[in-house]
Amino acid sequence: MILYFSGTGNSLYVARSLAQALGDSLRHINNAPADLTQEKMVGVVYPVYTYDAPAAVKTFADTLVLNKDAYVFVIVTCGSTPGNAILSVKQRVEKNGASVAYSRIVSMPDCSAPAMNNNPNDQLNKLEPVPALLKQMTADIQARKHDLQHAKCTAMGTIMNTRAMQPIGIAAVRQHVNEDKCIGCGICTKVCPMENIVIKDKKALIGDRCTQCLACVHFCTQQAMEIRHKTMPKEWQYHHPGVTLKDMMLR
Ligand SMILES: Cc1cc2nc3c(=O)[nH]c(=O)nc-3n(C[C@H](O)[C@H](O)[C@H](O)COP(=O)(O)O)c2cc1C
Ligand code: SF4
Ligand code: SF4
């Protein structure tokens, strides 16, 4: 079984492609069975957030119940710098008695680029090598390859995920609803993996369970979901070109 978490579709695309190539099933981590001890092979695919795994993925990994003999692989998608994102999940899986055998990094357009005043769609060329990488990963996984060269502990991953620094990463992408633009269409409530947005008085209202995936920002129909109160041009909204809004809707 391949389990995924994704805000803008990069990780969904990778997870779905691997599931198809391996003839395996695909589940969002929110819909994963509580007990996976019957699975002989388990893959976990997710994005990198601030040099680490998303908080929601770490919480999920803490509760993963796997067969200790299962072949487990971890694939992360990121802009360029994965930090401790693989190690973070590997350590959690191992704490629960299973072990991770294989991991890979897939560089893709950085969905947090608008927070740094950049357009993620200017990075579409990063998608060109992905099919070849998927083919290689599929062959490696079929051969039950062991390779953990990417499961590293890095200085940035460690520093940015200290209690003192974490709020800085969160503040860098903080969302805000521009009430003049929001039409209460509810799309953001359907793509939010944390069920963290509700519609009240025909306006979106963000709660306190955010995991910074930016799905609400990139899929907002009116560009009303802002990062740090800045309006984002429509051309800067990004999702993986092989993934549709329907694919991303969790409810
Ligand atoms: C809050 C946030 C923080 C991010 N931090 C990093 C990072 O530290 N390093 C990196 O290479 N990419 C970073 N990214 C980019 C994502 O990892 C990348 O775009 C990923 O492929 C998104 O996957 P998804 O489309 O499945 O959500 C960050 C993205 C977000 C939203
Ligand atoms: S998707 Fe945008 S316009 Fe629609 S409810 Fe959410 S914030 Fe408002
Ligand atoms: S509120 Fe937005 S950024 Fe936060 S988890 Fe939900 S969709 Fe993702």
Q: Which of 49, 41, 52, 56 is nearest to 4 (CA)?
A: 56
Task: Spell 36-66 as b/e; 16+ CB within 10 A means b.
Answer: beebebbbbbbbbbbbbbbbbbbebbeebeb
Integer angstrom CA distances of residue 14 from 132, 137, 159, 178, 225: 12, 10, 28, 33, 26
- Per-residue pLDDT, averaged over 25-43, amounts to 96
pTM: 0.97
Contact criterion met (CB below 8 Å) for 54 and 29: no
Q: What is the mean pLDDT of the chain?
A: 96
At 122-179, the pLDDT tens digits run 999 999 999 999 999 999 999 999 999 999 899 999 998 899 999 999 999 999 999 9
- The protein residue whose alpha carbon is closest to atom 4 in ligand 1 is 49
- The protein residue whose alpha carbon is closest to atom 22 in ligand 1 is 47
Ligand nearest to the CA of 76: 1
Domains of the chain with bracketed CATH: 2-160 (3.40.50.360), 167-248 (3.30.70.20)
Distance 78 CA to ligand 1 centre (A): 5
pLDDT at site 242: 98
> Which residues, at least 6 apart from 89, have a Cβ–Cβ distance to it below 8 Å?
44, 46, 53, 57, 58, 61, 74, 100
Per-residue confidence at 231, pLDDT binned at 50, 70, 90?
confident
* SS3 label, residue 250: coil
Q: Is 173 in the pocket of ligand 1 (CB under 6 A)?
A: yes
